[in-house]
Amino acid sequence: MENSRSKTVVFITGAFVHHSCWDEWQTFFKDKGYRTIAPPWPHKNAAAETLRNSHPNKDIASNRLSALIDHYDQVVREQAEKPILIGHSIGGLIVQLLLQRGLGVAGVAIHPVPPQGIMTFKFSFLKAGWGPLGFFTSTRQSFLMSFNQWKYAFTNGMDYEAQKEAYYKFAIPESKLIVRDTITAAAKVVFENPHAPLLITSGSTDHTIPASLNESNYRKYRNSNSVTAYKEFQGRNHFVLGQPTWKEDAAYILDWINKLP
């Protein structure tokens, strides 16, 4: 097994949210001696409010999963040392896909969108994903969650003021195509292949990516003969990075990393 003692962390953002969602996580890891970066997706290097005001944004709408994976592939290769990869939602899926390419000494997929072939018909998953998939609407226009959609898909269970603050701080337009790409071969993982250590986490109240979906993702790796771990956190929704409990999750992840060979 490759030595996992890297002190560089690349945070990979998910869909619909601004990359500043990692700010507190970066501070936490920096305080523990890590060098961290959280690069934005292409066409999203602006403030969240600026991006919302740009909607419908044809450049954001043009983003595709394969190109986004290549974007982070380049970011990872540019680091002075092979980094630890930590991603959320589609960012978690990208962690899995980059580990498949042999990039990263370890990976953490937080509530990841599952790779191709892993599905659920749970109502919350279908309801949360219907709008972003944008069926019967133009893919040339970006998709921006309404506040009501945000409350259901991301911040369910939080009080109204916290939901509203999170929306205006982090919600941004998204590509419908990139959401659709997650069910295509662009999101294919060969689970039997060896990979760097991988931790998959889930949340018991996540509407967008139910915990059962993350557990199915984890179980697909059972024949890989590589370190793969799974942890379900109680009371976490899809806004897990910004919930008051975020530091508990970050501490668990850091402890898992520190225990690797």
pLDDT of residue 4: 64
Asked whether the beta carbons of 112 and 209 are under 8 A apart, the reply is yes
* Cα–Cα dist 44/59, whole Å: 9
Question: What DSSP element (H or E) covers 212?
Answer: helix 211-219
Q: Which amino acid is at 193?
A: N
Confidence tier at 135 by pLDDT (50, 70, 90): confident
- The residue-averaged pLDDT of 200-219 equals 97
Asked whether the beta carbons of 87 and 112 are under 8 A apart, the reply is yes
Higher pLDDT, 179 or 11: 11
- The residue-averaged pLDDT of 30-50 equals 98
- The residue-averaged pLDDT of 13-20 equals 98
* Cα–Cα dist 81/193, whole Å: 23
pLDDT at 2 over 70: no
- The residue-averaged pLDDT of 189-210 equals 97
pLDDT of residue 120: 81
pLDDT of residue 119: 87
Q: What is the percent of the chain where pLDDT is above 90?
A: 90
pLDDT at 3 over 70: no
pLDDT tens track for 65-118:
999 999 999 999 999 999 999 999 999 999 999 999 999 999 999 999 999 999
Q: What does pLDDT average to over the chain? A: 95
DSSP symbols for 223-234? TS-S-EEEEEET
* Cα–Cα dist 134/120, whole Å: 19
pLDDT of residue 140: 92
Cis peptide before 194, with omega less than 30 degrees from 0? Answer: no
Asked whether the beta carbons of 157 and 237 are under 8 A apart, the reply is yes
For residue 85, the 8-state DSSP code is E
Torsion of CA 184, 186, 187, 188, to 10 degrees: 90
Asked whether the beta carbons of 39 and 75 are under 8 A apart, the reply is yes
